[in-house]
Homo-oligomer: A and B are copies of this chain.
Amino acid sequence: MPGRKFLNVPGPTNLPDRVRRAMDIALEDHRAPDFPAFTKALFEDLKQVFKTTTGQIFIYPSSGTGGWEAAITNTLSPGDKVVQAVFGQFSLLWADLCRRHGLEVIQVDVEWGEGVPLDRYREILAADKSHDIKGVLVTHNETATGVASDIAGVRRILDELGHPALLYVDGVSSIASLDFRMDEWGVDLAVSGSQKGLMLPTGLGVVCASPKALAARKQAKFKRCFFDFDDMIRTNKDGWFPYTPATTLLRGLRESTDMLLEEGIDNVIARHHRFAEAVRQAVSAWGLRLCAKEPKWYSDTVSAVLVPEGADSDLVVKYAYERYQLSLGVGLNKVAGKAFRISHLGDNNELMILAALAGTEMALRDAGIDIEPGSGVGAAQEYLRASGSW
């Protein structure tokens, strides 16, 4: 098939050419004397991406799922109680991982399309006078429904109640794209992966731990080795790793971190908002609705779009890919067949977004959904022109 594919799934995201080339290198000796200087600077600069000065970054050759596991197993013990809201496939999977590790999960079920329910978190935590709850888990951006949650709000509750539970945030599809503030929000464990806002191939799980989280590891009784913070702390200190690191991805991470810092994290966040809003203008022009029920839940990294009753969202995704080389995300689990997802996460510009919208328009019509051709693209164009910084 001629031309290049358009990748609008919420991870992996588009690989910038600079990053691609930064990784197109010979393999290297991770025990070379000049290696530590490289890694130490990288760890330091990555902190800016997490907006932390006191946190510590851990980089695993794994994935976001590995990051979830690392965050949990290094800071909790089997049988520990955690509270966790489930409102989409990824919050569901994380809760499942917790249970499979033997945690007692107080699962707060929320309608898909909403985010973390602050009131119910408050109730549960307020009721926990004995502080049995050791962890409060929040999926910052639920990739399945395009819903972003209020992390600062959760922190406020914990603070107001004086509850000592650790705050765990799944930032896989939010960090380096949505507003995320490790220190200011008092996040204890933040989990990310390489293939989203960090604009890299899959293969790194990146975890940031607060000093309080690091202290908690002394009591954490989960068996661990591959993901153990201790081995990392001991070796990273001098720029090494406890086992062979994924050096190629680290070189890519160096480049993508440079790109993020050159653009400025807040500019990156603003750019994501602008492109997300353009997509939402298009959805509105099509006369369709988002899965996210209210503007406060709107995700700036992915939009899940509901198709009209009787239509099949999977057909949209199928035609987009087969006919127009456009990868959209399918609806998962509860929204299977009802929603498709357009990612606007990562390395995008105006025309990449408009191309995705144009392809979506064709696929919608191919799937029998009667939207006006060009209507979404036109609405997005006007928003983009009006919001441009030139």
Mask for A222-243, Cβ within 8 A of B = 1, else 0? Answer: 1111111000000000000011
Cβ of A48 within 8 Å of any chain B Cβ, yes or no, is no
Cβ of A15 within 8 Å of any chain B Cβ, yes or no, is yes
Tell me the complex Cα distance, A348–B271, Å: 27
Mask for A28-68, Cβ within 8 A of B = 1, else 0? Answer: 11111100000000000000000000000000111111101
Mask for A332-375, Cβ within 8 A of B = 1, else 0? Answer: 00000000000000011111101110110110011000001111
Cβ of A321 within 8 Å of any chain B Cβ, yes or no, is yes
User: Is B29 touching A16 in the complex (CB atoms < 8 A)?
Assistant: no
Cβ of A190 within 8 Å of any chain B Cβ, yes or no, is no
Cβ of A9 within 8 Å of any chain B Cβ, yes or no, is yes
With a cutoff of 8 Å between Cβ atoms, the chain B residues found around residue A9 in the complex are 29, 31
Q: How near does chain B come to A293, taking the closest CB pair, in angstroms?
A: 25
Q: Which of A97-105, A206-214, A297-305 contacts B (4 or more CB under 8 A)?
A: A97-105
Chain A: number of interface residues, binned into ranges: 35 or more
Q: Which of A106-114, A124-132, A159-167, A244-252 contacts B (4 or more CB under 8 A)?
A: A244-252
Cβ of A11 within 8 Å of any chain B Cβ, yes or no, is yes
User: Is A324 touching B352 in the complex (CB atoms < 8 A)?
Assistant: no
Q: A62 is contacted by which of B30, B195, B226, B329 (Cβ under 8 Å)?
A: B226
Closest Cβ neighbor of A97 among chain B residues: B225
Looking at A28, A222, A355, the one whose CB has the most chain B CB atoms below 10 A away is A355
With a cutoff of 8 Å between Cβ atoms, the chain B residues found around residue A15 in the complex are 26-27
Mask for A2-33, Cβ within 8 A of B = 1, else 0? Answer: 11111101011111110011001111111111
Closest Cβ neighbor of A21 among chain B residues: B21
Looking at A6, A248, A324, the one whose CB has the most chain B CB atoms below 10 A away is A248
Mask for A174-213, Cβ within 8 A of B = 1, else 0? Answer: 0000000000000000000101000001110000000000
Closest Cβ neighbor of A375 among chain B residues: B374
Closest Cβ neighbor of A14 among chain B residues: B27
Q: How near does chain B come to A177, taking the closest CB pair, in angstroms?
A: 11
User: Is A225 touching B385 in the complex (CB atoms < 8 A)?
Assistant: no
User: Is B33 touching A322 in the complex (CB atoms < 8 A)?
Assistant: yes
Tell me the complex Cα distance, A96–B66, Å: 21
Q: Which of A133-141, A146-154, A376-384 contacts B (4 or more CB under 8 A)?
A: A376-384
Tell me the complex Cα distance, A243–B69, Å: 13
Contact (A28, B16) CB under 8 Å given A97-B225, A373-B378, A384-B362: no
Q: List 24 A-B contacts (CB under 8 A).
A: A15-B26, A17-B26, A61-B61, A61-B66, A61-B202, A62-B226, A63-B243, A65-B226, A100-B223, A101-B223, A193-B244, A201-B246, A202-B244, A203-B249, A222-B223, A325-B349, A354-B359, A361-B378, A362-B384, A373-B377, A373-B381, A374-B376, A375-B378, A378-B378
Closest 8 CB pairs of A and B: A374-B378, A3-B349, A374-B374, A373-B378, A355-B355, A12-B27, A29-B327, A354-B358
